[in-house]
Amino acid sequence: SAAEKGGYDYFMLKEIAEQPKAVADTLLGRIDGAGSLTLDEVRIPANVLREVDKVVIVACGTAFHAGLIAKYAIEHWTRLPCEVELASEFRYRDPILDQQTLVVAISQSGETMDTLMALRHAREQGAHVLAICNTNGSTIPRESDAVLYTHAGPEVAVASTKAFLTQLVACYLVALYLGQVRGTKWADEIRAVVRDLSSVSGAVDRVLETMEPVRALARSLAEKNTVLFLGRHVGYPVALEGALKLKELAYMHAEGFAAGELKHGPIALIEDDLPVVVVVPSPRGRSVLHDKIVSNIQEIRARGARTIVIAEEGDEAVAPYADHLIRIPVTPTLLQPLVATVPLQVFACELATARGNEVDQPRNLAKSVTVE
Ligand code: AGP
């Protein structure tokens, strides 16, 4: 009913709008006055976590994209190797797992059969399993050694939005917590990242206030057949997520690429007026990547692409090559997906509406996939 949707036409719109609160709720009560993370739910003893020599993330769909982003944070903050694998592929390749492996299973519903089978396999091999989940008491957390709940509130729309952002927050917390326990991250650093994470909620709010041009752009592309997405570093999984949203909602051919791979094949796809969304890393810090992406944008535009550029406020270098420029607030590099994904959600939702598709219940899809 309309009341259930809080006055929005679709649950997806409501859930997109709830993201600032969802992100804040996932952080709530998880840091103490001294700047230490208190993840009491993570009932895996500190001595076990100190012995861990590898992290393996398993998940499907959007949760898998959260895992791909988590890898950057985990490896950077803990110096532990981290693999990310589609849950449906995991146990069929005889993965190397033992008591020193920490497996992180990410699932909104907690009922995804592929993810459940992957974690069962991991536990049989002696690995410790931590679930990141949004649904209290669901099967995946029940079968895991521990769970960190995302506190996004119920997500009804088939297309995942607020669950994704909160999965990212939970992944950052797990990465910091591992760093805290293992002594690679100190209280002041943890406090600084948590402060950045807390301000992201406001940043997501600001993004949501500036979405009207994105909706207009989406409507103008309703007759297109293909949209490509490019990103680099943590922007690459964001590109994959943008493409997945468009597939499931707009039923369009959409693909995400690592921008550095363009020249190894995908650039052959570029033709006149093809919309290409580019997620641009911050020009600060990792400016090498920024410069490389700017030249990618030039290359595809020279070949006729219609460039839709998502870039930080104040990044002027991209402006001359952007047919459409979508601004996002300045964030630390690793946290940029929390703001960069939002315009892509809005874009896909509006395109679906413009094409007359059912937003909350896309064809052929179920909210949780409980078969293998
Ligand atoms: C996301 O928009 C999809 N509907 C889908 O990819 C989903 O993320 C995937 O099925 C995993 O679901 P889960 O998080 O409930 O395990």
* Distance (Å, whole) CA 222 – CA 351: 6
CB-count exposure of residue 117 (10 Å: 0-12, 13-18, 19+): middle
What's residue 269's pLDDT?
95
Cα(215) to centroid(ligand 1), Å: 24
Q: Which residues are CB-neighbours of 132 under 8 A, at least 6 positions away?
A: 66, 104, 105, 106, 107, 147, 148, 150, 167, 170, 171, 174
Q: Taking the CA atoms of the chain, what radius of gyration do you get in angstroms?
A: 20
The finding on whether 141 has its CB within 6 A of some atom of ligand 1 is no
Helix axes 19-27, 162-182, angle to 10 degrees: 20
Q: Is 14 a catalytic residue?
A: no
324-328 sheet: strands from edge to edge: 253-258, 226-231, 275-279, 306-312, 324-328
Q: Ligand 1 test: best mutation among 369, 370, 371, most atoms within 8 Å of CB?
A: 369
Q: Residue 61 Cα, ligand 1 centroid: separation in angstroms?
A: 5
CA distance 142 to 139: 5
φ/ψ of 100, rounded to 5, equals -95, 5
Query: How high is the pLDDT of residue 185?
Result: 79
Helix (H, G, I), strand (E, B) or coil at 244: helix
Contact between residue 296 and residue 231 where contact means Cβ atoms under 8 Å apart = no
Q: Which string of DSSP letters, residue by residue, matches 148-175?
A: EE-------SSS-SHHHHHHHHHHHHHH
The two structure tokens encoding residue 351: 């395109």
Packing angle between helix 337-354 and helix 235-250, nearest 10 degrees?
20
Contacts with 154 (C-beta within 8 Å, 6 or more apart), sequence order? none
In 3D, which of 125, 89, 124, 86 has the Cα closest to residue 105? 86
Among 5, 54, 224, 367, the active-site one is 367
pLDDT of the residue at 131: 97
Predicted confidence at residue 187, as pLDDT, reads: 81
pLDDT value at residue 286: 62
The pLDDT of residue 372 is 86
Residue among 218, 221, 310, 301 at smallest CA distance from 262: 301
137 CA from centroid of ligand 1 (Å): 18
Q: What angle do CA 168, 172, 173 make, to 5 degrees?
A: 115
Per-residue pLDDT of the chain in tens (372 residues, 90 and over written 9): 777 899 999 999 999 999 999 999 999 989 887 778 888 788 899 999 999 999 999 999 999 999 999 999 999 999 999 999 999 999 999 999 999 999 999 999 999 999 999 999 999 999 999 999 999 999 999 999 999 999 999 999 999 999 999 999 999 999 999 999 998 878 888 888 988 999 999 999 999 999 999 999 999 999 999 999 999 999 999 999 999 999 999 999 999 999 999 999 999 999 999 999 999 999 987 678 999 999 999 999 999 999 999 999 999 999 999 999 999 999 999 999 999 999 999 999 999 999 999 989 999 998 889 888
- Which ligand 1 atom is nearest residue 112's CA? 16
Give the C-alpha separation, 356 to 187, whole Å: 51
Q: Alpha helix locations (H) across 278-324?
A: 287-302
Q: How far apart are CA 203 and CA 318, in angstroms?
A: 21
In this prediction the pTM is 0.97
Q: What is the ipTM of this complex?
A: 0.98
State the Cα–Cα distance between residues 258 and 256, nearest whole angstrom. Answer: 7
**164 alpha carbon to ligand 1 midpoint, in Å?**
9
C-alpha–C-alpha distance, residues 86 and 140, integer Å: 16
